[in-house]
Structure 1
């Protein structure tokens, strides 16, 4: 049926046609150099830079853990991840060769996924898939609304604290990629979350198309095996929380021959607004 085809498509060789062989070569680079690594502790957040042309790997260090990821252009934070457009251009749950796209008026790939040890998870019997763009970060405002209590270590708050050293604020925190998170829509078209299927050593890796600022929160729900709201949420899931490791790798410069950071969107119109004639 025509109605089931993807709405956003491009011709072969167009902007949605990824050079898979290039990203496979970069990902397989045995000579890559580890230039930085650190661990994001449980129920916390951290921000870091990834230079264009480098790889960044997120690792479940010692157990299943959901991570909420924000991404900006390091040199202009007005350009940042556009989750809803990425869902349309790519898919609602991303994996290898998918890209995360930036907001208007930039509209270009911020990163391309190059590695995913959970790619084989696919779609489970309940419709769950991994690495979620359907939902967004947990936050203290919704928590207060649903429970009447304040909690300062939801993903939104963790991200707010993480970006402060870079001069960013709560207004810069945006819809996330929920890395390692398994989600879907139930029979009533409602968002659901499932236990995280990641195990120690699983990873999600991406190639930075631009100089990036990234921030990650280790979700206070941990592996999401305990409900955060509603029946069963009276149990604190802290024992199901684990850190997430971050690695940044420099690849062999020879592998980047022919690659260049993507240009911003070509549209240069005025949205139908007449250009003033200053000569009159």
Structure 2
């Protein structure tokens, strides 16, 4: 037995087996896509938007390296949202092309599938860093206050809170993130580290919406993370903060032939509780 083998496996043809040919066919680079929406998110801010099922979304480093913190919900029921920890187990701690982001219980289905990633070739660097991180989470003003004794209202958590308020969500709906373009790993002490973002202007991370999605993205106030945010060398990294672009595309209908949105988990959550037996007293 290989003690380092992946723990989670599925039967052949199950949901962990991805039809890579389909997702390569619908990727934006394949053409035949109608632009639906395009906008930029300024530095140290956030924005939420919809990506309908069967549509593609690209996040782009418009002018240079910049980390973005991404949240994803079922647009019709925000109780269903991305589940970072289970995605780490079912996919990997840093995701790329053909990986999926999975939703929380009791739904447990793919919310999105990554169709293209210009940093897919980055792999693992000499320090063990990889990009598109699910290991960590968003920066937030609570931890910042704890570490520094100072308040700062434009951490990713705060940016996401402001972004989702117009959509009827609150701070309690903001959740653990996918750190897009962020380079991270675990050091020799098994502790989390962050490196400067390796992206360049025009790099992108692209995904296919498996169901109707509400997405929210924060342009991290740490910018490209080349400047320490905490500790003795910390300083304001404003000069390394840049905007991020978002593009939404509708593929040609023929490209989606045979595809359907995944159903929610088949287990119907009885958890060993027996249904009551009713008797006719009439």
| Category of TM-score, reference length = shorter chain | over 0.9
SS at match of 1:11: coil
Deviations 1:163-206 (A, max 9, x none): 00000000000000000000000000000000000000000000
**Number of residue pairs matched by the alignment:** 279
Provide the rounded CA distance (Å) in 1 between the counterparts of 2:60 and 2:208: 15
Equivalence for 2:255: 255
Tell me, what secondary structure is at the counterpart of 1:2?
coil
Q: SS at 1:160's partner residue?
A: helix
**Structure 1 CA distance for aligned equivalents of residues 225 and 81 of structure 2:** 27
CA distance, structure 1, for counterparts of residue 146 and residue 269 of structure 2: 42
Distance in 1, Cα, partners of 2:92 & 2:271: 28
In the alignment, the residues of structure 1 paired with residue 202 and residue 268 of structure 2 have an alpha-carbon distance, to the nearest angstrom, of 45
Greater than 6 Å deviation, 4+ residue runs: none
Equivalent residue, structure 1, for 2:20: 20
Q: Does 1:45 align with 2:46?
A: yes
Partner of 1:237: 237
Query: Contact 2:106–2:269 (CA<8 Å) still a contact in 1?
Result: no
Equivalent positions of 1:50-199 (< 5 A) are 50-199=51-200
What's the offset of the Cα at 1:268?
1.2
Residue aligning to 1:266? 266
Unaligned runs of at least 5 residues, structure 2: none
Does the residue aligned with 2:3 lie in a helix, a strand or coil? Answer: helix
Whether 1:2 and 2:14 are equivalent positions in the alignment is: no
Residue 227 of structure 1 and its aligned partner are, at CA, apart by: 0.9
TM-score between both structures, scaled by the size of structure 2: 0.97
Matched, 1:206 2:207: yes
Distance in 1, matches of 2:30 and 2:188, equals 43
Q: Provide the rounded CA distance (Å) in 1 between the counterparts of 2:217 and 2:202.
A: 18
Structure 1 CA distance, aligned partners of 2:269 and 2:105?
A: 13
Cα distance in 1, alignment partners of residues 264 and 249 from structure 2: 25
State the shift of 1:259 in Å.
0.1
Bigger shift: residues 223-232 or 70-79: 223-232
Please give the secondary structure, in 2, of the residue aligned with 1:246.
strand
TM-superposition CA deviations, 1:85-140 (whole Å, max 9, x none): 00000000000000000000000000000010001100001100000000000000
Q: State the superposition RMSD in angstroms.
A: 0.9
Are the counterparts in 2 of residues 29 and 251 from structure 1 also a CA contact under 8 Å?
no
Shift of 1:269: 4.0
User: What is the CA distance between 1:277 and its match in structure 2?
Assistant: 2.4
Structure 1 residues 236-245 or 7-16, which shifts more?
7-16
CA–CA distance in 2 between the matches of 1:237 and 1:269? 47
Tell me how far 1:14 sits from its aligned partner.
Answer: 1.2
